[in-house]
Amino acid sequence: MSPSRSAAGDQPAPDAALDPAGRVDWLREQIRSHDRAYYELDAPVIPDADYDLLVRELRSIEADHPDLVTPDSPTQRVAGVASSQFAPVQHRTRMMSLDNAMDAGELRAWGERTRRRLDELGLPDTVRYVCELKIDGLAMSLRYESGRLVLAATRGDGRTGEDVTANVGRIEAVPAELTGDAPEVLEVRGEIYLPLEAFARLRARTEAENLQAEAAGRRPRPLPANPRNAGAGSLRQKDPEVTGSRGLALWAYQLGEVVGVEPPPTHSGALDLLAGLGLPVNPETRSCSSLDEVYEFCAHWVEHRHELPYEIDGVVVKVDDLSVQAALGATSKAPRWAIAYKLPPEERTTQLLEIQVSIGRTGKATPFAVMEPVFVGGSTVSMATLHNEDQVRLKDVRPGDTVVVRKAGDVIPEVVGPVLEFRPADLPEWRFPTDCPSCGRPLVRPEGEAQHLCVNPDCPQKRWAAVCHFASRGAMDIEGLGEQQVQLFMDLGLLADVADVYSLDYDRIGELRGYGEKAIDNLRAAVEASRSRPLARLLFGLNITHLGQAGADTLAGALGSLDAIATASLEDLSAVDGIGPVIAESVHSWFADPGHQQLVARLVAAGVNTDGPERSVLPQTLAGLSVVVTGTLPGYSREQAEAAIKSRGGKSPGSVSKRTTALVVGDEPGASKVTKAEQLGIPVLDQLGFEHLLETGELQAEGTS
pLDDT digits (tens, 9 = 90+) for 246-290: 999 999 999 999 999 999 999 999 999 999 999 999 999 999 999
Pairing mode of beta strands 312-319, 402-406: unpaired
Residues belonging to the active site: 134
Cα angle: 23, vertex 351, 58; to 5 degrees? 20
* Residue 384 vs residues 224, 251, 277, 355, 435: alpha-carbon distances, Å: 19, 34, 47, 10, 22
Low-confidence ranges of the chain (pLDDT < 70): 1-12, 38-43, 77-85, 408-411, 615-616, 701-705
Give the pLDDT of residue 59: 83
Side chain identity at 397, as an amino acid letter? V
pTM greater than 0.85 (yes/no): no
Pairing mode of beta strands 662-665, 627-630: parallel
Give the pLDDT of residue 77: 64
Give the pLDDT of residue 30: 85
Count other Cβ atoms within 10 Å, centred on residue 260.
12
* Region class of 578: left (phi > 0), else alpha (psi between -120 and 50), else beta: left
Q: How far is residue 381's CA from residue 370's CA, in Å, rounded to a whole number?
A: 9
Longest dimension (CA), the chain: 89
Cα angle: 245, vertex 250, 256; to 5 degrees? 135
Pairing mode of beta strands 684-685, 662-665: parallel
Beta-carbon contacts of residue 454 (< 8 Å; ≥ 6 apart): 359, 363, 365, 436, 438, 439, 441, 443, 444, 461, 462
Beta-carbon contacts of residue 619 (< 8 Å; ≥ 6 apart): 648
Side chain identity at 492, as an amino acid letter? L
Domains and CATH numbers, the chain: 1-76 (1.10.287.610), 127-288+307-340 (3.30.470.30), 347-444 (2.40.50.140), 457-530 (1.10.150.20), 535-605 (1.10.150.20), 627-703 (3.40.50.10190)
Nearest to 26 by CA among 43, 48, 9: 9
Q: How far is residue 130's CA from residue 149's CA, in Å, rounded to a whole number?
A: 27
The 8-class DSSP code of residue 308 comes to S
Beta-carbon contacts of residue 31 (< 8 Å; ≥ 6 apart): 51, 54, 55, 58, 74, 79
Give the pLDDT of residue 634: 85
Q: How far is residue 141's CA from residue 256's CA, in Å, rounded to a whole number?
A: 8
Dihedral over alpha carbons 664, 667, 672, 678 (to 10 degrees) = 50
Side chain identity at 189, as an amino acid letter? R
